[in-house]
Amino acid sequence: MTPIEPPLLDLGYFQHGHNAVAGWLQRDALLLTLGLHRAQLAAGQGGAVAEIGVHHGKLFIALALLAAPGEAALAVDVFERQDLNPDGSGHGDRAMLETHLARWRLQRRSTILARDSQTLTPAELLALGGPIRLFSVDGGHTRGHAGHDLALAEASLAPGGVVLLDDFLNPAWPGVTEAAILHLHHPANALAPLAICGGKLFLVRRADHAAWCLALAERVLPWAASAQPLDLAGMRCWRLAFTGQPELAAQIGAPQSRTLPPLSLTLAGQAPPPGLFGPGWSGAEDWGRWSLGPEARLHLPLPAEAPPRRLLLCARGLAPPLPVALLAGGTPLPPLLLDQPDLAWYALDLPPLPPGPLELVLRPAAWPSPASLGLSPDARPLGLALAELVVEF
């Protein structure tokens, strides 16, 4: 079974969390990005996310949070090689970026490339994560750098994808605007303008432009404080602004369905919900808990409104690979193989189960002690390490 990344569980970063990350990102651009992401989900459009020029990760963290399980998140920056940043646009800090990614638990789903984007090819990006559905271009701000990065983004874009070009119409960086206009008017290029918002130009493929205008009208314009249509490079484009209230992120990002939000349980040192742990568990550690012996039980406090659909576990074995048998409400689930040396996410589709509280039984195939493996003096019979558990409905 292939490890996956955790799903987006809340919108805290879009409401307030981004304020703790240094960088240049207007709230309007962040809200529009969230709205376009919701429109992509509604249309069934998937793909990786990427940014060229990440600085400390202010926008990249948002993109990585929007990446679904299995979707790659690619960060490209020259970082300490500032000799490759001749116009001085930003100053990437890899250590600070990694600190923020850890704060939002995004290390495993993120791939960091310390590269000059001008040395990258579409084939390399596609090999790393496949076609990209949200691609932020915020690297070098000269006409040459911005033009190259726009072409790179266009060639790597997924069907229904969006390119976010930063500092469009910013008088401090005329090269960006010049590169965008040249790109839009070149007959061989396929990008079209969709919106100007929060200092960014949002572009889509010409073939997708009409569909995106409809999606924008349905899912984004109702939230805008102002929406002015204009023509740019012969195409309809919107100049948008939002109210800037943090609560608007929850409204724009809300799923367009009655599906309940996922239930997320952290097994680390904080106090767990009453009755969560049945027999077979160790005490709390700063990362989670170990199962002890041949069987461990969890009593999941699921709501009565909807049956559970999918189970996600952040787990590992003491000495992988470790097969684990599971039962949910007495129903056997497909066996789980913990095959990664570190904590990783694994997903299981659940059979039809009634809504309401659910007992989960985990039976590891082995429960050696660290002492028996020569790892430490610990003589406890440890099965699997479980850090987090998510139930989707």
| Domains of the chain with bracketed CATH | 12-253 (3.40.50.150), 263-392 (2.60.120.260)
Using CB atoms within 10 Å of the CB of residue 148, give its burial: 0 to 12 exposed, 13 to 18 middle, 19+ buried. Answer: buried
Q: Can you tell me the distance from the alpha carbon of 163 to that of 158, in angstroms, rounded to the nearest whole number?
A: 10
- State mean pLDDT over 243-252: 69
pLDDT tens readout for residues 51-81: 999 988 899 999 999 998 789 999 999 887 7
SS3 of 327, please? strand
Cβ–Cβ < 8 Å for 45, 159: yes
> What residue type is assigned to position 375 of the chain?
L
Q: Can you tell me the distance from the alpha carbon of 393 to that of 7, in angstroms, rounded to the nearest whole number?
A: 13
Q: Can you tell me the distance from the alpha carbon of 173 to that of 128, in angstroms, rounded to the nearest whole number?
A: 30
Taking 50 as the threshold, does the pLDDT of residue 258 lie above it?
no
17, 51, 79: which is closest to 249 by C-alpha? 17
Q: Can you tell me the distance from the alpha carbon of 141 to that of 382, in angstroms, rounded to the nearest whole number?
A: 54
- State mean pLDDT over 80-99: 72
Low-confidence winner among 72-86, 172-186, 196-210, 222-236 (lowest mean pLDDT): 72-86
Taking 70 as the threshold, does the pLDDT of residue 84 lie above it?
no
3 falls in which pLDDT band (50, 70, 90)? Answer: very low
Q: Which pLDDT score, from 0 to 100, does residue 355 have?
A: 87
Residue 72 region, left (φ>0) first, then alpha (ψ -120 to 50), else beta?
beta
Q: Which pLDDT score, from 0 to 100, does residue 89 have?
A: 63
Taking 80 as the threshold, does the pLDDT of residue 91 lie above it?
no
Per cent of the chain over pLDDT 70 is 89
- Quote the DSSP letter at residue 348: E
Low-confidence winner among 30-44, 136-150, 228-242, 270-284 (lowest mean pLDDT): 270-284
Q: Which pLDDT score, from 0 to 100, does residue 263 have?
A: 77
Q: Which pLDDT score, from 0 to 100, does residue 373 have?
A: 95
- E-assigned strands of the chain? 48-52, 73-77, 110-114, 132-137, 157-166, 191-197, 200-205, 226-232, 235-241, 263-266, 289-292, 296-300, 310-317, 322-328, 331-332, 336-338, 344-349, 358-364, 382-392
Q: Which pLDDT score, from 0 to 100, does residue 6 have?
A: 41
